[in-house]
Amino acid sequence: MSSMRFLSYLWRGFFCCCCIRAMPAKIQQEPLNDRPVIGILTQLVSDDVMRPFGRTYIPDSYVTYLESGGSRVMPIRLTLTTTEYENIFRKINGLLLIGGAADLETSDFARVAKIFYKLALEANDAGDFFPIWGTCMGMQLLTVLVAGQNLLTNTTAENVALPLNLTADAPTSRMFQNFPKRLLKALTEEPLTGNFHNYG
């Protein structure tokens, strides 16, 4: 072997050794985060005091509530396209419709919620469980979406505790099937649920 060829091999070997030593022994990979991602529709700001801070908001209490249960939160703005909402739908595991004071039929909040509601129905029909939770106005909006019209009426349920009026199938439903029977019975017989709404 010629000395030039030998030097060439020597340099290659030296180069490889240096490069291998310079590389980390094991590439650190971040652990997979499999906590559910829950989307929250934002609300339009209606308060003059909050307007300088942005056009939409989510009260922190909803974010804290979901994160305390182990979820991650994805804010969903009301100004995106249907295609963008479809992409978001594929990346989240559920949706929270928050309380507030938006029109249940004509607001951007209602329009966007309807898109997600239809996508959730399609997913659930295909066997892919996609929950939507509505709090206060969010629950009222769900009743409008399910009924296809606004059937809500004024009611006197402001700051009052009432028992739940459950259907006969409630104890075997997905939501209540593992619920403690004593507590479920108490919820239907005693005024244990707080109500703070004007429509029902």
Q: Which residues are catalytic?
A: 136
Distance of CA 43 to the CA centre of its chain: 14
**Strand pairing class (72-76; 37-41):** parallel
CB 43 within 8 A of CB 57: yes
DSSP string, 156-199: EEEEEEE-----TTGGGSTTTTTS-HHHHHHHHHS--EEEEEEE
Q: Which amino acid is residue 116, in one-letter code?
A: F
